Amino acid sequence: MDLAAPVEMPEGKRYWLRIEVQGRLRMAELGDRMKCLRDPSFQEKLRLHGVDKPYLPDMFAMGVYLGVEEKAQEAGIGILTHCGEM
């Protein structure tokens, strides 16, 4: 994870925005991210640093490989590029 920032939605609900930065986003990197999000030890490390659920997981990449956007959407992971949100 490269960034964790608290955000508040217009309706008042608070989340932790978690963004990981990649040069290229392939299925392998997306799979690693999905595995990490489910890992209780990783979640505990975040909690110890004050970052607790609920999360808004996003990934930023300059290049996104074919098929990754659909898989990320299914997993609830947002994708950001230099052109904006996919």
Residue 14 sits at φ, ψ, to 5 deg, of -105, 140
Residues of the domain holding 57? 3-85
- The domain total for the chain is 1
Amino acid found at 42: F
Residue 48 sits at φ, ψ, to 5 deg, of -65, -25
Task: Give one DSSP letter per residue of 16-82, joined into a string.
Answer: EEEEEEEEEE-HHHHHHHHHHHH-HHHHHHHHHTT--SSEEEEEEEEEE-TTHHHHHHHHT-EEEET
Confidence of residue 2 (pLDDT cuts 50, 70, 90): confident
> What Rg do the C-alpha atoms of the chain give, in angstroms?
13
pTM for this predicted structure = 0.84
pLDDT in tens, 36-63: 989 999 999 999 999 999 999 999 999 9
